[in-house]
Amino acid sequence: MDIECPSCHAFHWLDEKLTNSSRYRPLFGTCCNQGKIRLPILQPLPPGIQVLYDDDSSHVKSFRSHIREYNAANTFTSLGVKLDDRILNGRGSKPFSIYGELKHRVVALLPDLGK
């Protein structure tokens, strides 16, 4: 990824350029749709999250080294969706299709006292 979008400065591979753009002036549609999409500047992180990026304490280092495991453990945990059964009747691998809204039910990760 060494080619910069001239509109939003996102990095791409050259093969991601739009077919109607040249190799020497590549244009891209997957990041900002050639400047048509402009996202607001990100707000600063809350202090409790920012410390996870900046601090060098042992518990923060442990968190950073295991972040992929934490993310994977929570990916489909308590997922609240309505599955679209209309497309599950075919042959082959089963698709995961959702209609409506996607929700995550967030609850405490620790059991109640005595349980």
- What is the value of pTM for the model shown? 0.41
- Domain edges within the chain: 1-39, 47-104
The confidence score (pLDDT) of residue 68 equals: 87
What are the Cα distances from residue 60, in Å, to 17, 45, 56, 109? 39, 16, 6, 19
What is the distance of C-alpha 48 from the center of its chain?
A: 20
The confidence score (pLDDT) of residue 43 equals: 92
The confidence score (pLDDT) of residue 71 equals: 80
Looking at residue 21, the DSSP 8-state letter turns out to be S
